[in-house]
Each structure stands twice: as structure tokens, then as C-alpha cells.
């Protein structure tokens, strides 16, 4: 809950967003699954700061209206990942033997009503998108006195960039990239059709269903997604002329300019897919700086570089596609539906089957290693803190989070350090 920005990972800090707990995205690392009896003991779930006696968390007082027979129907297995508010496990349906992924969210950590609403919204979103070939299949939501369980399809094919880097003989083509991008655009188009904005499109939020070469790509995380009211304009194109999002959420490398300007809609998802496509075709980020503040300024002011190697060898059709997705004005940018009709990305289109320059995979490998190193560093820092230290940090966080948005903006940090009142801001992200 309370998304903050991180260049390569989503870090949570407060109580405004993603009540489901922003569980780490890797559902399963591969086929190296051990039997449950061989698994190491699960880490203890570190709770929020102890509340005064008699004060019960909102989640504990809420009946979500879900089925209440989890333990009789499912057996918990391997731990896949964890976030601030819960854990994700492999589980087995006792009757059929089907293996599923279960996100277990602690009701005791849903202190405020907004946390409860975040969980309910995520379940509504998964239900709305149920049946789409590129969205992780939602089985059901179950609850008991202590937890809410979101039961989903288990994806065992690994993360997107890892899959590309594991290709035999380093054979990676524009067509491979186009197939991936097309599936992402289908997810965005489906979301927008339902009046939804994903708000955190990035490679880590997509997993392959299986290790088969023709496995479909699945969107697995909708913790930041939200509904937005659609209206039709006179030219009959679907526009979102009513509600706009005024908060800044997402992941720094992929955030759209209008998100930073606090007036965003479904167009921001298309921008993020444009960033992903740029990375898939050259292995580098289109906007980069050593600080997240610097990244945001790059996004707002500069254009991507299409002159540096390997871009001269990339097809004109591919470059045209990326440029039309990375238009800073969201009114001019292609919609997800329009992008799906572009010659480069459409099925049977013009994407080349000639292997891309070897530098693409080398660049991508460095990008992945950097991202993982930063994630490991953040985890290492977090693991050294005990419950009392975490409670103190939460108190400090709440003092700094002056506008109670659930995340700390750069201006809030600056004003606190100078002992001045909050003047309002550029963006919410972590340091």
C-alpha cells in the first residue's frame, strides 16, 4: 500500500494504494520446486506497529463476503514471494490436485478502511478481466478470520526479460519483441474497454504461463490499477474525458509525462508499453539518470535516442511504432487499440525475423543485473530491521507524509529537512 517510486521495483510505504500488499512479482522461479516437506521454514510475517489495546484493524472487523472454506479446500506449499501486507504461495486444490498461486493478505495489517477497499478493488479488477488470454486467471477470493486469500493461475514460465536472455544461440528478433508487445497491448486494450487503467505496466509485472516456446504472456499484478469513468467524444473514439488520476504512481523508468503532471488516464499505459518496446529493441532505457528526480526530468523534457547503436539496424517500421507510443502529448499518442493495428506489431505484420544486434542482449543483461542488485540491496536493508525499528520508521514516515498520500514526495522530504511547511509537489517516490 502507498506506492513509492523506484527505478526498478515498486516499494511500498504507507496506506494509500495497493492494499493487497505489492507482493514480489516472480510467482515461481522455475521447475526447481521442492516438496512442501523439504521447504525451509517460512519467514515470520512482521506486523505493523502494535495498536493500543482495544483498537481492532479495519480488516479484522470486515466481512468481505467471500467464501470461508480455504483450509478445507487448499493446502499451502512453497513460498513464492512477499510484500508488506502478505505472502504469495504455491497451493494445491485438494479435490482436483491443481496447483495454483495464492496471495494471502493479513487482515490485521489492513488498519484503515482504504486498505480494505484496495483489496476489494483488486478482486473486482481480476474478476472483470477474467477469461482474457493474457491476464492471469482469477479463480476466487476466500477469507477466514485472519486472512483474505486471492487464488490465481500459477505461472511457471519465468519473467519476460529472463526468458529473452535465455534464448538459445542468442537468436532474438524484432518479431520476438513484436509478439510480446502485442500481448501487452491486448491487456491494456482490455483494461481500457472495462474502464480500467493498469498504471504500472513494466516487464516485472508479466510472467509466462509455462516454459514452452509458444507460452502466452500473462499480466499478473493489478495492485495499482483503478477504474476510470469512460465517455465518448464526437469523433466516436473512446476517450476518457471525465475523471483523471491526480496521484503519481508506478515505476520511474516507465512513468508517463502526464502522470508526473498529475493528470493521467489510460494513455499512460500506452506510454509504458512504448518504454518497454524501446528496451526490448535496444536493451537500454529511453530515459535514464542517476536519480529518480533526474529520470522524471528526462521523461518530461527529452526525447529517446534513436541514433545510437543498435538503432541504425532496427527497421523503420519498428522505430515508427515506438515513436508513436512515446509521444509526450497523450492526446496525440496512439491508443492501445490503434497501436494493435500498426504494421509492425500486428499479427503477420512487418516485424523482421533477422536476429537483432548482439549488443541488444548484452545491454539487456546489464539492465537486468543492475535492477536485481538494487532489489537485493533494498531487501537486505529491510531484513536488518526488527519490529520496533520498523514501527519507529512508520512513525517517521507518517510525520513526513504531510499530505497523507501514503508515499513521500521529493518536496515533502525537502520541506521536512529544511523545517518548512509542505508546499506541494513534483512526485511520490522512494529514495
Residues at the binding site for ATP are 103
Q: Are 266 and 230 in contact (CB under 8 A)?
A: no
Q: Are 146 and 104 in contact (CB under 8 A)?
A: no
Identify the DSSP state of 43.
P
CB atoms within 10 A of CB 397: 17
Q: Are 351 and 187 in contact (CB under 8 A)?
A: no
Strands (E), 192-309: 196-197, 206-208, 217-219, 226-227, 231-232, 238-239
Q: Which of 176, 200, 226, 411 is catalytic?
A: 200
Give the span between the Cα atoms of 97 and 384, in whole angstroms: 38
- 269 flagged as catalytic: no
Q: What is the DSSP string of 2-29?
A: -EE--SSS-EE-SSSS-TT----S-S--
Question: First vs last Cα of the chain: how many Å apart?
Answer: 17
Burial track 113-148 (b if 16+ CB lie within 10 A, e otherwise): ebbbebbbbbbebbebbeebebbbbbbbbbbeeebb
Helix 358-383, helix 267-282: angle, nearest 10: 120
Q: Are 271 and 333 in contact (CB under 8 A)?
A: yes
Q: Which residues are catalytic?
A: 200
Amino acid at each position: 500500500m502507498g506506492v513509492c517510486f523506484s527505478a526498478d521495483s515498486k516499494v511500498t510505504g504507507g496506506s494509500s494504494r495497493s492494499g493487497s500488499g505489492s507482493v514480489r512479482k516472480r510467482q515461481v522461479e522455475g521447475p526447481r520446486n521442492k516438496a512442501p516437506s523439504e521447504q525451509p521454514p517460512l519467514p515470520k510475517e512482521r506486523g505493523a506497529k502494535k495498536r493500543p489495546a482495544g483498537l481492532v484493524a479495519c480488516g479484522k472487523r470486515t466481512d468481505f463476503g467471500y467464501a470461508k472454506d480455504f483450509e478445507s479446500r487448499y493446502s499451502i506449499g512453497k513460498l513464492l514471494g512477499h510484500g508488506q501486507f502478505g505472502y504469495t504461495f504455491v497451493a494445491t486444490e485438494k479435490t482436483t490436485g491443481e496447483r495454483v498461486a495464492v496471495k494471502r493478505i493479513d487482515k490485521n495489517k489492513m488498519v484503515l478502511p482504504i486498505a480494505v477497499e484496495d483489496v476489494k478493488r483488486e478482486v473486482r479488477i481480476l474478476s472483470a478481466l477474467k477469461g482474457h488470454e493474457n491476464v492471469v486467471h482469477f479463480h476466487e477470493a476466500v477469507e477466514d478470520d485472519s486472512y483474505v486469500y486471492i487464488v490465481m493461475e500459477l505461472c511457471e514460465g519465468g519473467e519476460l526479460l529472463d526468458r529473452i536472455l535465455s534464448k538459445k544461440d542468442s537468436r532474438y528478433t524484432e518479431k520476438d519483441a513484436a509478439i510480446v508487445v502485442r500481448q501487452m497491448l491486448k491487456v491494456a486494450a482490455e483494461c481500457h474497454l472495462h474502464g480500467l487503467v493498469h498504471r504500472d505496466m513494466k516487464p516485472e509485472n508479466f510472467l509466462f504461463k509455462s516454459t514452452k516456446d509458444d507460452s502466452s504472456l500473462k499480466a499478473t499484478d493489478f495492485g495499482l490499477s483503478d477504474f476510470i469513468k469512460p465517455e465518448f467524444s464526437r469523433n466516436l473514439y473512446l476517450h476518457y474525458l471525465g475523471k483523471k488520476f491526480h496521484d503519481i504512481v508506478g515505476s520511474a523508468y516507465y512513468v508517463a509525462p502526464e502522470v508526473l503532471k498529475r493528470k493521467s488516464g489510460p494513455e499512460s499505459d500506452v506510454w509504458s508499453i512504448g518504454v518497454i518496446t524501446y528496451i526490448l529493441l535496444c536493451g537500454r532505457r529511453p530515459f535514464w539518470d542517476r536519480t529518480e528526480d533526474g529520470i522524471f526530468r528526462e521523461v518530461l523534457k527529452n526525447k529517446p535516442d534513436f541514433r545510437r547503436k543498435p538503432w541504425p539496424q532496427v527497421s523503420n517500421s519498428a522505430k515508427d511504432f515506438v515513436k508513436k507510443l512515446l509521444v509526450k502529448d497523450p492526446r496525440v499518442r496512439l491508443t492501445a487499440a490503434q497501436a494493435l493495428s500498426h504494421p509492425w506489431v500486428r499479427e503477420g505484420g512487418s516485424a523482421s525475423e533477422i536476429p537483432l544486434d548482439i549488443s541488444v542482449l548484452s545491454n539487456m543483461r546489464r539492465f537486468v543485473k543492475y535492477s536485481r542488485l538494487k532489489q537485493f540491496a533494498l531487501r537486505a536493508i529491510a531484513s536488518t530491521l526488527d519490529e520496533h525499528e520498523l514501527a519507529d520508521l512508520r512513525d517517521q514516515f507518517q510525520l513526513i507524509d504531510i499530505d497523507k498520500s501514503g508515499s513521500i514526495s521529493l518536496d515533502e522530504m525537502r520541506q521536512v529537512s529544511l523545517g518548512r511547511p509542505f508546499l506541494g509537489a513534483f512526485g511520490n517516490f522512494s529514495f
